[in-house]
């Protein structure tokens, strides 16, 4: 009976995988897609609004840095939208972009599904200039365009099904998915952002490099930013949150350098 159950479970997971796959733009990688983009984006929008409205969150406005975050974000968003349209993919993305600078010593930045971006002031000493900021924001926007949150939630959902009797798991799909979204974005509580896998981080490095180049930022300058981030960890200091699941700094920089010839093809001053 146990073997029969495992066989049925395996068949169900294969069926779900075949029925729920999407393709990452530019990289062409196939990914598991079992949850609704609309539902994820609605939850992300609510979480972003809650985050911005929290007494603990200080949104920076009226400064040169705040204006620069919006400028760089909009430049990349325009370039990404142009690329998606050219590839016939624009109808798959219903993003409402928003870019905010947050007063915080944390060396961090993130982009929620649907294009909700936050950049923390703690990362600005490492970005230093507009192109450094484009490196960071291109990377974070790439996570959203590649639907890494959706992919992780889909993987968690598939695991839920494999761990339960198929009938019960299937009937609870909406509740499970809702719980995953709530957990990922901290609805009703403190915001808790997903930590991406190393493979997702590497993919975001690649797409982000291409996106910044499409937006008119020299991709060669990305190497300098990552080198500054790597040198900041000398002496055992804590790595930036958004770098915590990536391979070694040396590996990351080497991979980016290998991608530069491809990225330069998208670069127009």
Q: Residue 262 corresponds to which tokens in the numbers above? A: 């491809």
**Which of 144, 128, 114 is closest to 48 using CA atoms?**
114
pTM of the model as a whole? 0.76
Number of domains, the chain: 1
d(CA 87, CA 67): 30
Which entry of 98, 131, 140, 201 is annotated as an active-site residue?
140
d(CA 127, CA 49): 26
Q: Is 13 exposed, middle or buried (0-12, 13-18, 19+ CB in 10 A)?
A: middle
DSSP sequence for 152-173 = HHHHHHHHHHHHS-HHHHHHTH
Find the range with the poorest average confidence among 46-50, 79-83, 206-210, 220-224: 46-50
Percent of the chain residues topping a pLDDT of 90: 49
The predicted structure's pLDDT at residue 32: 60
Mean pLDDT computed over 177-203 = 53
User: Is 131 among the catalytic positions?
Assistant: no
Burial of 158-178, coded b for 16+ CB within 10 Å and e otherwise, reads: bebbeeeeeeebeeeeeebbe
Q: Are 155 and 194 in contact (CB under 8 A)?
A: no
Domain boundaries, position 101? 1-269
């Amino acid at each position: 009976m146990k073997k029969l159950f495992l066989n049925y479970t395996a068949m169900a997971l294969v069926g779900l995988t075949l029925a729920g796959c999407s393709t990452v733009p530019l990289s062409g990688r196939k990914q598991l897609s079992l949850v609704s983009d609309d539902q994820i984006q609605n939850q992300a929008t609510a979480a972003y609004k809650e985050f911005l409205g929290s007494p603990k969150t200080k949104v920076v406005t009226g400064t040169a840095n705040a204006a620069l975050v919006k400028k760089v974000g909009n430049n990349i968003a325009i370039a990404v939208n142009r690329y998606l349209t050219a590839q016939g993919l624009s109808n798959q993305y219903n993003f409402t972009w928003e870019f905010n600078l947050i007063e915080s010593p944390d060396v961090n930045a993130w982009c929620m599904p649907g294009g909700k971006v936050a950049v923390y002031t703690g990362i600005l000493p490492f970005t230093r200039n507009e192109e450094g900021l484009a490196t960071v924001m291109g990377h974070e926007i790439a996570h959203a365009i590649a639907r890494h949150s959706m992919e992780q939630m889909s993987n968690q959902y598939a695991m839920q099904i494999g761990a339960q009797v198929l009938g019960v798991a299937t009937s609870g799909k909406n509740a499970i998915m809702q719980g995953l979204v709530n957990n990922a974005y901290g609805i009703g509580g403190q915001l808790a952002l997903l930590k991406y896998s190393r493979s997702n981080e590497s993919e975001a490095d690649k797409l982000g490099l291409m996106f910044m180049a499409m937006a008119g930022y020299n991709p060669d300058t990305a190497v300098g930013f990552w080198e500054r981030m790597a040198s900041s960890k000398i002496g055992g200091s804590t790595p930036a949150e958004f770098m915590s699941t990536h391979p070694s700094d040396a590996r990351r920089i080497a991979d980016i350098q290998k991608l530069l010839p491809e990225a330069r093809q998208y670069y127009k001053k």
